[in-house]
Structure 1
Amino acid sequence: MTRACLVDVYDTIVNSRFESRQRDVAAFAGVDADLWLAGWMTTRTERDLGTLSVADSVAQALLACGIDPAPELVDTIVGKDAELLRQQVRVFDDSIPFLTGVRASGMAIALVSNCGDSTRALLDYLGLIPLADAVVLSCEVGSMKPSPDIYRTALEDLGVAAADAVMIDDQPGFCAGAEAVGVRAIQIVRPELDGQVSRSAFPLVRSLLDVPALL
């Protein structure tokens, strides 16, 4: 019996628009977008594990572009990045009906995301935190998918056994990480993100509204 859903955030319940947003940040900072993206990605793991803040990552990306990361400049870019998150990240149309429907059926929900320290404020702004029983962010718990620890943290927060939970994620590697700890996984591939996957090692859905039939 499924008692809980662990649900990924970016490109599962919200459209991240990651690359285009970072290119907009680069344009705001007046730096080459490719250099900025390369510098930003070099700190992704540390940012997701919470050992570097978004501000630290901005500073490193500026250095990669040959720009002195003066504190005032870093603060300005961090603020712009947060503004762009609010402006550009959108909740998929099926996300709120899915989350509210699952909870109404008696199942618990944990949002489980690999992310930096700007994500909790974004989820709050989007009104998604009240729709979950737990919010497990990699930067806050110090572990990231597909590490077993982040899934186990979510299960502990919800008070359910792995066998009684399902993970919904767009990344097959993160689905595999869930199954490695005994959590059944469902992969979502959204057509609006140019998802071309026709086969998967996991049950495959194109919309969250297709998930309840598989629970």
Structure 2
Amino acid sequence: MTAEAGAGRQGPAPRPAAVIFDNDGTFLATEAVWSRAEETLFARRNVAFLPEHKRRLLGSSFDLAAQYLEEFLDRPGGGAALMAELIELVYAELDGEVPPMPGAVELVTALKADGIPVAMATNAARGFAEKALLRSGNAGIFPVLKTVEDVGAAKPAPDLYLAAAEDLGVEPAACWAVEDSPTGVAAARAAGMTVIGVATHPGIVLHDADHVHPSLADPAVWALLGLAAPR
């Protein structure tokens, strides 16, 4: 394990039978899209969008984010309307460039070439995930795409990861997950998976991940997965 790895796991995990990726901030750089939309939402109400707001919203489900927005913007009972407005802003932001995270496409491509199945499991709606992948030039890169609309409970519940593993035909305990938020890490751990945390957000600490690295381009990530990193 890395020095940042969560407690309670002993010894190296076996090579994964499948790898399941989160999307926002893990595979695609869409957290910037969300942040711009969130900043606009807050600015419309003359409220500064602070790092603490971002830390709490990161990786949260629709319902939990709605509760946070009610609190942050002092709009009791207005969470659903605020989320609807935010989603509209987010979709508008998706009309711009949506780049992949460093090393993400290369890693997924290498896993597939090596015969390791891959999937995506995201708390976002299907329409958002599909549009983001299309705008990034990666539509269809994941043969299995599970979104919040496919399961009974969003992350941090394990439902998304369990559903992705089932579609891949792989036991959850044999899967590895790749995540950038504590919410996502908790979901993957609850599903019994080994977790690689990608520490891309300032102030976000992924204590419970088994391994934590700054980027999917890090050769150490590739080595963990039994792959040779590109030179």
In the superposition, the TM-score normalised over structure 1's length comes to 0.71
Instruction: Report what 2:27 is aligned to.
Output: 13
Compared CA separation, residues 61 and 182, structure 1 to 2 (3 A): closer
Compared CA separation, residues 81 and 171, structure 1 to 2 (3 A): closer
The question of 1:129 aligning with 2:139 is answered: yes
Instruction: Report what 2:69 is aligned to.
Output: none
Compared CA separation, residues 61 and 98, structure 1 to 2 (3 A): same
User: In 2, Cα distance between the equivalents of 1:173 and 1:156?
Assistant: 21
* 2:108 paired residue among 61, 75, 99: 99
* Secondary structure of the structure 1 residue equivalent to 2:115: coil
The question of 1:108 aligning with 2:97 is answered: no
* Secondary structure of the structure 2 residue equivalent to 1:130: coil
* Secondary structure of the structure 1 residue equivalent to 2:137: coil
Compared CA separation, residues 148 and 167, structure 1 to 2 (3 A): same
Q: Detail structure 1 runs of 4+ shifted over 6 Å in the superposition.
A: none
* 1:45 paired residue among 54, 63, 66: 63
Report the RMSD for the aligned CA atoms in angstroms: 3.5
Identity of aligned residues (%): 24
Pick 1 or 2: higher relative contact order, CA cutoff 8 A, min separation 6. Answer: 2
Q: What aligned pairs does 1:16-31 form with structure 2 within 5 A after superposition? A: 16-17=31-32, 18-24=34-40, 31=45
Which stretches in structure 2 are left out of the alignment for 5+ residues?
1-14, 67-77, 226-231
Compared CA separation, residues 79 and 148, structure 1 to 2 (3 A): closer
Q: Residue 171 of structure 1: CA displacement? A: 1.7
Q: Is the 8 A contact 1:94 1:207 kept in 2?
A: yes
User: In 2, Cα distance between the equivalents of 1:79 and 1:176?
Assistant: 28
Total equivalences in the alignment: 188
Q: Is the 8 A contact 1:111 1:134 kept in 2?
A: yes
* Secondary structure of the structure 1 residue equivalent to 2:160: helix
User: In 1, Cα distance between the equivalents of 2:39 and 2:206?
Assistant: 30
Q: Residue 10 of structure 1: CA displacement? A: 0.8
Which stretches in structure 1 are left out of the alignment for 5+ residues?
49-56, 63-68
Higher fraction of helix: 1
The question of 1:172 aligning with 2:182 is answered: yes
In the superposition, the TM-score normalised over structure 2's length comes to 0.66
Q: Residue 3 of structure 1: CA displacement? A: 1.7
* Secondary structure of the structure 2 residue equivalent to 1:61: helix
Q: What aligned pairs does 1:60-99 form with structure 2 within 5 A after superposition? A: 60-61=81-82, 81-87=90-96, 89-99=98-108
| Deviation readout 1:36-65 (Å, 9 max, x if unpaired) | x9xxx79832789xxxxxxxx997129xxx
Compared CA separation, residues 118 and 46, structure 1 to 2 (3 A): farther
